[in-house]
Amino acid sequence: MIETVTAIVVAHDSAAKLPACLAALQRDGVNTIVVDNASEDDSATVAEAHGARVIRNAKNEGFGRAMNIGMRAATTDFALLVNPDLVVDEGAVVRLLAAMECWRDAAIVAPRIVEPDGRVFFSNQSLLAKTLRNERGARWLPEGDCCTPFLSGACWLVRRDIVLGLGGFDEQIFLFYEDDDLCRRVSDAGHALVHVHEAIARHERGASAAPRKGRVFKARRHLAWSRAYVARKWGLPSPIFKIVMTNAPKALLAYVSGRRWRFERYAGSVQGAIDSWRGRTALDIEKLV
């Protein structure tokens, strides 16, 4: 049993993905807290069956708020923040811990994330990074451990006291860009973020929650809103006009042609931008206030 780490998994209709995620953590001896965001499936029951402690939220609190609940409930020095559609390879957690011992100035370390087709996910851009602008979108991958101004929030090992001391995830954000925002605050506070190349995790992006009518619209709505929110928070140019002008014609075309999924995608982006322009908050949209 790894006594210095507690894994935090936020679940929302994630019953199909939790068994593999939790079994891998259990295999590596990691105690786990599952924060269930008012799932309508058996996520909480599945989590308990796999030995996890379950915190049941009465409402879907969003990713960042739920992660904060889980981190505050943990008592270990380190928290492993894991998406339910991610499976850590054997030994990955130990390698992440070793990296924390090696890189004492690091507040967040993350594994090499491999997608189902074998591609490695590593962001070469970040909206909020001061040193990773990469406007041309050049593609490169690390060949070993490296510092970076942004790490994908799909799997982080964090020093819990530092992250919670910085306020944790911004609780005004319901979904999307909360990892960019926290990486920026960690970096600005003088702490390193480290990619750990020999620690490997398998991630099926976008599979955390089961498909459902309206889910694409909701996700794209929050993506647009959160983009506008973090831009305003960090003094960047507002993306609202561009989001509307890019997505409104596509939404109209999708509606006319009867392509529901595409309509949800583009209309959701437009709605999120309009919500931001009108001054609505994500918490108001989700009736969390």
Judge whether 95 and 199 are in contact, CB under 8 Å.
Answer: yes
Would you place residue 169 in the very low, low, confident or very high pLDDT band (cuts 50, 70, 90)?
very high
Residues 159, 117 share a domain: yes
pLDDT, tens digit, 9 for 90 and up, residues 213-238? 778 999 999 999 999 999 999 999 99
Domain range spanning residue 238?
A: 215-285
Residue 207 pLDDT class (50, 70, 90 cuts): low
- In a domain, residue 209? The reply is no
127 and 222 housed in the same domain: no
Write down the pLDDT at residue 210: 53
Residue finishing a domain among 203, 237, 253: 203
Residue pair 271/218 in contact by the 8 Å Cβ criterion? no
- The last residue of one of the domains, among 180, 203, 226, is 203
Q: Give the least confident one: 43-57, 63-77, 124-138.
A: 124-138
Please report, as a single letter, which amino acid is at residue 62: G
Question: What value does the mean pLDDT take over residues 1-6?
Answer: 94
Asked if 222 and 174 sit in the same domain, the reply is no
Residue of 212 and 127 predicted with greater confidence = 127
44 lies in the same domain as 169: yes
**Domain identity same for 147 and 56:** yes
Which structure tokens are listed for 105?
Answer: 């100035």
Q: What is the pLDDT of residue 244?
A: 98
Q: Which percentage of the chain shows pLDDT scores above 70? A: 93
Q: For the chain, what is the largest distance between any 2 Cα atoms, rounded to a whole number of angstroms? A: 57
**Residue 212 pLDDT exceeds 90:** no
Calculate the average pLDDT of the chain: 93
Check which CATH number belongs to the domain holding 133 and give it. Answer: 3.90.550.10
- Residue 137 binned pLDDT confidence (cut-offs 50, 70, 90): low
Q: Pairing between strand 78-82 and 120-121?
A: unpaired
Neighbours of 90 (CB within 10 A): 10
> Taking residues 185-201, what's their average pLDDT?
96
Residue 46 has pLDDT above 70, yes or no: yes
Are 189 and 278 within one domain? no
For residue 210, tell me if it sits in a domain: no
**pLDDT, position 211:** 57
- CA–CA separation, 81 vs 158, rounded Å? 8
139 and 220 share one domain: no
Q: Is the pLDDT of residue 161 over 90?
A: yes
Asked if 13 and 156 sit in the same domain, the reply is yes
Which of 178, 203, 228 is the C-terminal boundary of a domain? 203
102 & 242 share domain: no
Give tens-digit pLDDT for 242-289: 999 999 999 999 999 999 889 999 999 999 999 999 999 999 999 997
Alpha-carbon torsion 265, 267, 268, 273, what sign? positive
Instruction: Give the CA distances from residue 134 to residues 23, 127, 179, 230, in Å, rounded to whole numbers and listed in that order.
Output: 38, 10, 18, 19
Structural domains counted in the chain? 2
Handedness of CA 179, 180, 181, 185 (dihedral sign): positive
